[in-house]
C-alpha cells in the first residue's frame, strides 16, 4: 500500500508540471516593443506561467527611422495600455493592436521664400495610411511657385497626395526680384531712387512690374568743377518712373563735366564780358568762351593774366579745366611794332620759322606774304605781342633764293640755298653759361654751296662775316643773360640750325623735383615759363616719367598755339571723349593731321611715347605737315641704329637736320626707347621755342 501511494503522488506532480499555461503576448502588427513584468521584449513573446499567477503587460508606441509611427490602440482583453493579468488554467493570448501613421515631410527651395499648407492639418506631420492630403504651395512676396519634387510633381501649386507610405515633398520657388542697377557716367555721382539719395552705382532688388522713380541730381559737385545731367540711357526725363523688368537691367544717367570760368580785373579800369554768357560762370568741358575786354575811357587792355597770357582781343578760353582769368588795363598808347629777328636762312628742303612779333599793348597787326614759296601757318593777325609761324617750301632750283615779306608792317627776309647744298655745323655745347662769351662754329659744306648765316634774337650777334661758300668757320657772340629765366637763341647757317639755350645768372627752380643741377633743368624751366606745362601735379614735373601720348598732345598744341585754339566738339577717337582732360589738345592734334591715332578709331592716350614716335610728332608739328605728307630729308643715315627701312627714318633724319636732336649717343638715336618728360622738354625747346 505504501508503494502504490508514492507512485500516485509522483504521477500527480508530473501532471501538475505539464499543465502550466502558455501565455502569448503579441502585437498587431507584430515586431513592436512590449513590456512584460517591467522587462522590454519584441513581440510576439510566449511565457509559461503558473495558473493563478499575476503579471503586468504593457504596449509601447514607437517611431521608426523611416517615418512610420505605431500608436497603441487597445489590448485584446480590453485592458488599458499597461495593466495586470491573472493567469488561468489554460493557454492564453493577449494582443495589443496599434494604428499606423506615416510622416509627411515638406520643405521649400530656396528656404524661407515660401511655405506649404497641408489640409487636413497635422500638428506633428503624421497621417493615417490611405489619408489624402491636399498640398498648397504659397510664395512670399517677390517669389512665385515653380514646381514640386520628391513625392509630389507638376507645376501647379496645388497637389493631392495619398499617404500610402511616408512621404517627402519639396516646393521650388523662383524669384520675381530682378537686380536693377542705377549708375552714372562718370561714376560716383548722386542719384535719387524712390525719394532717397544714393551714391552711384547702386543695385536694387525689385519685384517685376512694380513702379519706381529714378532721378538725377543736377547740377552736383563742389568748387570749380561740377556735373550737369545730360540724359538717361532709357531716354527718360531727369526724374521719371520706370517699371521693374523681369531681367537684370541697368539705367545710366549721363552727366557732362562743367568747369567754372572766373574773370576779373587786376589793374586799371574796365570790365570783361563773356560770350556765351553763363549766369553762374560754369561752362561745359571742351567748350570755348570768348572773353572781350571792355576798357574804360582812356584805357586799353595791357595783358591777360591768371591761366592765360598775351593780349588777344577777344580771347578764346578753352574750358579743358577750371579757368581763372584776369585782365590788366593800362593807359592807351601809340602803337609800335618790331620783330624778334629780321632775317633767317632756311635749308633747301624747306622748314618752319616762328617769328616773334613785338607790338604795343592793344595794337593790332597782320602778317602777309606775296611770295609763293612762303606762307603763314598761324598767327596771320594778332593784337599786342604774338608769334607768326611761316612755312618755307623746298627750293627746287640749284641756285639760292631770297625774299622779303611784311610781318606787322616790319620787313622780314628769308634766304634759302639751292637744291643740293648740304651744310653741317659743329661747335660749343648748345647750353651756354650765363656770362657773355665769343664762340666759334665750324661749317662743313660742299664746294660751291653758298650759305647765309643769321642769328636770333638780339643777344646773339655776328661780329664777322655772315655769308660764305663751302666749308669754313663762323664766330658768334652772346651777351650776359640778366633775365630771370634761361633764354633761347640760334645760329642758322644755310638753313642748318644750331639751337642755343643760355642759362641765367640766378637759376630759379620751377619744380621741386628738378634741381638746378638736373641735366634738363633749363629746358624744363623754359616749358614752365612759356606755359607749355604746369607739371605733373602739385609742385613736381616728374622728369624721368614716361611721356604719354595725351601729355605729348598737350605739349605740342600749347607750343604751337598756346591755349588759344579752336577744335571740333565731336570726338575724333572713341577712347577720348569730351570729358577727357586732354580732349581739346588731342582733337586739335588730329585736326591738323599730326596724328591719326594708334588704331583707326582710338588714340591710346595713356600709352607711353617712344623716341621714334616722338620724332614723327615733333617733325609734323614743326613743319606743318600731316601724317600722310612727304618731305625732303637727308638720304644717308645719320644714326647707325635707324636704317632706311625704319618706319621713323625720315623723321629722325629731319630731327638731326633741324638740330633738335644729337642722338642718345654720338652714333645712335635709340628710336625704341621710351621718351621721358625730361627729354621731351629738350626736344620741344629746340623745336618750338628757339627763334
pLDDT band at 3 (very low <50, low <70, confident <90, very high): very low
Using alpha carbons, select from 530, 543, 448, 535 the residue that is nearest to residue 486.
530
Mean pLDDT for the chain? Answer: 89
Q: What is the pLDDT of residues 561-577, one digit of tens each?
A: 888 788 888 899 999 99
| C-alpha to C-alpha distance for 219 and 230, rounded to whole angstroms | 10
Q: What is the pLDDT of residues 86-99, one digit of tens each?
A: 999 999 999 999 99
pLDDT band at 477 (very low <50, low <70, confident <90, very high): very high
Q: What percent of the chain has pLDDT over 90?
A: 61
pLDDT band at 209 (very low <50, low <70, confident <90, very high): confident
Q: What is the pLDDT of residues 619-658, one digit of tens each?
A: 999 887 888 888 778 888 999 999 999 999 999 999 998 8
pLDDT, average across residues 464-493 = 91
> Is the confidence at residue 333, as pLDDT, over 80?
no
State the cell numbers at 294.
571792355
Residues 3-27 as b or e (16 or more Cβ within 10 Å = b): eeeeeeeeeeeeeeeeeebebebbb
Q: What is the pLDDT of residues 635-644, one digit of tens each?
A: 889 999 999 9
Q: What is the pLDDT of residues 303-320, one digit of tens each?
A: 888 888 877 778 888 888
Using alpha carbons, select from 346, 382, 367, 340 the residue that is nearest to residue 622.
346
Contact 72, 61 (CB under 8 A): yes
pLDDT, average across residues 355-383 = 85
**pLDDT value at residue 18:** 54
| Angle 484-485-489 from CA coordinates, rounded to 5° | 125
Q: What percent of the chain has pLDDT over 70?
A: 97
> Is the confidence at residue 1, as pLDDT, over 50?
no
**pLDDT value at residue 44:** 95
Residue 299 or 18, more confident: 299
pLDDT, average across residues 531-536 = 91
> Is the confidence at residue 256, as pLDDT, over 60?
yes
* CA-to-CA separations, 213 to 68, 172, 239, 245, in angstroms, rounded: 55, 32, 7, 14
Please spell the DSSP secondary structure of 224-282, one letter per residue.
TEEEEEEEETT---SEEEEE--SS-EEEEEEEEEEEEEEEEEEESSEEEEEES--TTSE
All domains in the chain, ordered by first residue = 2-100 (2.60.40), 421-506 (2.60.40.10), 521-688 (no CATH)
Q: What is the pLDDT of residues 414-445, one digit of tens each?
A: 999 998 888 888 888 889 999 999 999 999 99
* CA-to-CA separations, 40 to 25, 35, 59, 550, in angstroms, rounded: 12, 4, 10, 93
Contact 109, 171 (CB under 8 A): yes
**What's the whole-model pTM score?**
0.54
Which residues, at least 6 apart from 502, have a Cβ–Cβ distance to it below 8 Å?
431, 432, 433, 434, 459, 478, 481, 486, 487, 488, 489
Amino acid at each position: 500500500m505504501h508503494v502504490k501511494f508514492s507512485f500516485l503522488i509522483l504521477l500527480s506532480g508530473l501532471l501538475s508540471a505539464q499543465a502550466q499555461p502558455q501565455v502569448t503576448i503579441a502585437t498587431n502588427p507584430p515586431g513592436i516593443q512590449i513590456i512584460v513584468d517591467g522587462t522590454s521584449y519584441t513581440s510576439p513573446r510566449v511565457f509559461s506561467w503558473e495558473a493563478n499567477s499575476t503579471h503586468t503587460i504593457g504596449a509601447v508606441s514607437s517611431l521608426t527611422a523611416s517615418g512610420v509611427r505605431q500608436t497603441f490602440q487597445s489590448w485584446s482583453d480590453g485592458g488599458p495600455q499597461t495593466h495586470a493579468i491573472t493567469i488561468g488554467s489554460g493557454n492564453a493570448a493577449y494582443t495589443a493592436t496599434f494604428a499606423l501613421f506615416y510622416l509627411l515631410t515638406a520643405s521649400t527651395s530656396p528656404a524661407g521664400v515660401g511655405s506649404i499648407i497641408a489640409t487636413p492639418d497635422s500638428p506633428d506631420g503624421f497621417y493615417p495610411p490611405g489619408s489624402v492630403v491636399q498640398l498648397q504651395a504659397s510664395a512670399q512676396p517677390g517669389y512665385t511657385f515653380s514646381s514640386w519634387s520628391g513625392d509630389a510633381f507638376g507645376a501647379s501649386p496645388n497637389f493631392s497626395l495619398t499617404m500610402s507610405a511616408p512621404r517627402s515633398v519639396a516646393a521650388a520657388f523662383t524669384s520675381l526680384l530682378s537686380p536693377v542697377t542705377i549708375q552714372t557716367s562718370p561714376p560716383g555721382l548722386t542719384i535719387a531712387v524712390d525719394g532717397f539719395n544714393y551714391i552711384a552705382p547702386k543695385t536694387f532688388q525689385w519685384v517685376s512690374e512694380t513702379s519706381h522713380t529714378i532721378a538725377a541730381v543736377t547740377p552736383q559737385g563742389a568748387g570749380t568743377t561740377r556735373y550737369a545731367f545730360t540724359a538717361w540711357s532709357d531716354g527718360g526725363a531727369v526724374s521719371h518712373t520706370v517699371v521693374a523688368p523681369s531681367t537684370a537691367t541697368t539705367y545710366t544717367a549721363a552727366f557732362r563735366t562743367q568747369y567754372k570760368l572766373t574773370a576779373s580785373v587786376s589793374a586799371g579800369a574796365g570790365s570783361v564780358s563773356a560770350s556765351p554768357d553763363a549766369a553762374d560762370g560754369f561752362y561745359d568741358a571742351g567748350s570755348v568762351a570768348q572773353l572781350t575786354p571792355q576798357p574804360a575811357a582812356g584805357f586799353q587792355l595791357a595783358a591777360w593774366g591768371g591761366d592765360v597770357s598775351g593780349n588777344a582781343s577777344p580771347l578764346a578760353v578753352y574750358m579743358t579745366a577750371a579757368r581763372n582769368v584776369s585782365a590788366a588795363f593800362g593807359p592807351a598808347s601809340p602803337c609800335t611794332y618790331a620783330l624778334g629777328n629780321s632775317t633767317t636762312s632756311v635749308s633747301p628742303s624747306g622748314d618752319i620759322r616762328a617769328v616773334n612779333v613785338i607790338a604795343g599793348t592793344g595794337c593790332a597787326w597782320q602778317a602777309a606774304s606775296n611770295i609763293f614759296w612762303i606762307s603763314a601757318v598761324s598767327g596771320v593777325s594778332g593784337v599786342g605781342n604774338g608769334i607768326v609761324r611761316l612755312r618755307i617750301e623746298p627750293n627746287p632750283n640749284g641756285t639760292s633764293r631770297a625774299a622779303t615779306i611784311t610781318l606787322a608792317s616790319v620787313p622780314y627776309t628769308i634766304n634759302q640755298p639751292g637744291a643740293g647744298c648740304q651744310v653741317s655745323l659743329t661747335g660749343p655745347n648748345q647750353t651756354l653759361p650765363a656770362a657773355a662769351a665769343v664762340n666759334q662754329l665750324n661749317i662743313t659744306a660742299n664746294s660751291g654751296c653758298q650759305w647765309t648765316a643769321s642769328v636770333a634774337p638780339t643777344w646773339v650777334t655776328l661780329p664777322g662775316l655772315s655769308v660764305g661758300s663751302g666749308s669754313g668757320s663762323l664766330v658768334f657772340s652772346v651777351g650776359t643773360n640778366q633775365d630771370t629765366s634761361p633764354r633761347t637763341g640760334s645760329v642758322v647757317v644755310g638753313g642748318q640750325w644750331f639751337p642755343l639755350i643760355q642759362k641765367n645768372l640766378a637759376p630759379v627752380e620751377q619744380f621741386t623735383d628738378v634741381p638746378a643741377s638736373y641735366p634738363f633743368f633749363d629746358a624744363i624751366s623754359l616749358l614752365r615759363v612759356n606755359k607749355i606745362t604746369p607739371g605733373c601735379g602739385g609742385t613736381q614735373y616728374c622728369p624721368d616719367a614716361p611721356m604719354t601720348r595725351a601729355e605729348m598732345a598737350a605739349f605740342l598744341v600749347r607750343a604751337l598755339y598756346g591755349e588759344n585754339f579752336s577744335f571740333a566738339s565731336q570726338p575724333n577717337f572713341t577712347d577720348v571723349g569730351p570729358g577727357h582732360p586732354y580732349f581739346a589738345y588731342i582733337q586739335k592734334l588730329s585736326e591738323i593731321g599730326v596724328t591719326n591715332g594708334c588704331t583707326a578709331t582710338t588714340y591710346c592716350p595713356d600709352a607711353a611715347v617712344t623716341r621714334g614716335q616722338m620724332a614723327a610728332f615733333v617733325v609734323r608739328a614743326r613743319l606743318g605737315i600731316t601724317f600722310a605728307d612727304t618731305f625732303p630729308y637727308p638720304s644717308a643715315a645719320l644714326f647707325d641704329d635707324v636704317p632706311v627701312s625704319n618706319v621713323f627714318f625720315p623723321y629722325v633724319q629731319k630731327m638731326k637736320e633741324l638740330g633738335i636732336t644729337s642722338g642718345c649717343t654720338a652714333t645712335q638715336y635709340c628710336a625704341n626707347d621710351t621718351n621721358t618728360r625730361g627729354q621731351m622738354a629738350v626736344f620741344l625747346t629746340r623745336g618750338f621755342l628757339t627763334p
